[in-house]
Amino acid sequence: MCQLLGMNANKPTDLTFSFTGFSQRAGKTGDHVDGWGMAFFEDHGVRHFVDYQSAIISPIADVIRRYPIKSTNVIAHIRKATQGKVSLPNCHPFVRELWGNYWVFAHNGDLKTFRPRLHSHFHPVGTTDSEHAFCWLMQELHKSHAGVPSIQELTLTLRELAAEISPHGTFNFLLSNGEALWAHATTHLCYLERAWPFSKASLSDEDLSIDFAERNQPGDRTAIVVTAPLTHNEQWTHFQSGELKVFVDGAHCDY
């Protein structure tokens, strides 16, 4: 299986602290050593990093831990290969363009029986069931909306599409178009929102603490979604199985 990490914030925010803890699971506190990837949205653009080396030894992952890339939406993934060989085209997250926006997707789980025909413009480059499911999601989103839909409309469509895929296996995923972060859980996913008054957080996977009150302003707000809680002194909310949540401007929306 794999692990997922997502961030949605109302202002460009760096994820250095969370990624430092998360990437320990790629060999130190976990065995997710078969590649990693991370995509940062910035002004509709995407910085997209993938590597089939573990996030512990990858020189690019090392730069990301040290160099604070500020972003409003981030999706990261560390992989333990179950479907598809260990190679660059099989590293999540995957990126496609739809309606003049980049869309980023990462998946944790197996969808062994989900191989629908792809009859539109989105085709997988690698061999994972995850990228196949992503291409199908993009195809169906495009078919379902004549123009560019609102976040609320997209959420309703994605909830229907996720429910179609879910019976085929385990479908924990993160998806973002740079404006919203969608998260769907079959098994493990939890989230928290950091907002005023900020508090001190201590990583579960590394001996590192941070006082968010010192680094944030009163209006700042960040939501973090992750496979397993990253900190041991914050309140994480676990997803119900089958739940799809959407985060905008650093907060969970009630769509």
Which residue of 11, 142, 145, 168 would you call a contact of a copy of itself, by CB under 8 A?
142
| Binding of a copy of itself by 60 (CB under 8 A) | yes
* 91 part of the interface to a copy of itself, by CB under 8 A: yes
R_g over Cα of the chain: 17
112 vs 115: CA distance, rounded Å = 8
Residue 126 binds to a copy of itself (criterion: CB under 8 A): yes
Q: What tokens were used for 169?
A: 């296996």
Residues binding a copy of itself: number (CB under 8 A): 36
Beta bridge partners of 94: 105
Of these, 1, 11, 29, 42, which contacts a copy of itself (CB under 8 A)?
A: 42
Rank residues 45 and 167 by Cβ distance to a copy of itself and give the closer one. Answer: 45
φ, ψ at 176 (rounded to 5°): -145, 145
Whether residue 197 is preceded by a cis peptide bond, meaning omega within 30 degrees of 0, is yes
Write down the residue that tokens 């950091």 correspond to.
194
Contact range with a copy of itself by CB under 8 A, out of 63-71, 163-171, 204-212, 214-222: 63-71
Cis status, amide bond into 229, omega within 30 of 0:
no
Q: Provide the minimum distance between the beta carbon of 125 and a copy of itself in the complex, in angstroms, as a whole number.
A: 5
Q: What is the largest CA-CA distance in the chain?
A: 51
How far, in Å, CA of 179 to CA of 43, rounded?
Answer: 10
Rule CB under 8 A: choose which of 16, 27, 56, 89 binds a copy of itself. 89
45 binds a copy of itself (CB under 8 A): yes
List the structure tokens of 254.
């009630």
With beta carbons less than 8 A apart as the criterion, state whether 228 and 188 touch. Answer: yes
Helices 16-23, 59-66: axis angle to 10 degrees equals 140
The single residue listed with the structure tokens 């895929």 is 165
Catalytic residues: 2
- Does position 125 interact with a copy of itself (CB under 8 A)? The reply is yes
- State the nearest-atom distance from the C-beta of 15 to a copy of itself, in Å: 16
Looking at the Cβ atoms of 2 and 230, the one nearer to a copy of itself is: 2
Task: Determine the interface stretch with a copy of itself among 98-106, 152-160, 212-220, 236-244 (rule: CB under 8 A).
Answer: 98-106
Q: Which stretch binds a copy of itself (CB under 8 A): 58-66, 152-160, 231-239, 243-251?
A: 58-66
By CB under 8 A, residue 27 contacts a copy of itself: no
Give burial (CB, 10 Å; 0-12/13-18/19+) of 107. buried
> Distance between CA 9 and CA 74 in Å, rounded?
9
Stretch near a copy of itself under the rule CB under 8 A, chosen from 15-23, 39-47, 205-213, 222-230: 39-47
147 touches a copy of itself by CB under 8 A:
no
Q: Shortest distance, CB of residue 146 to a copy of itself, whole angstroms?
A: 14
Q: Given the rule CB under 8 A, which residues bind a copy of itself? A: 42-51, 59-60, 63, 66-67, 87-91, 95-102, 120-126, 142
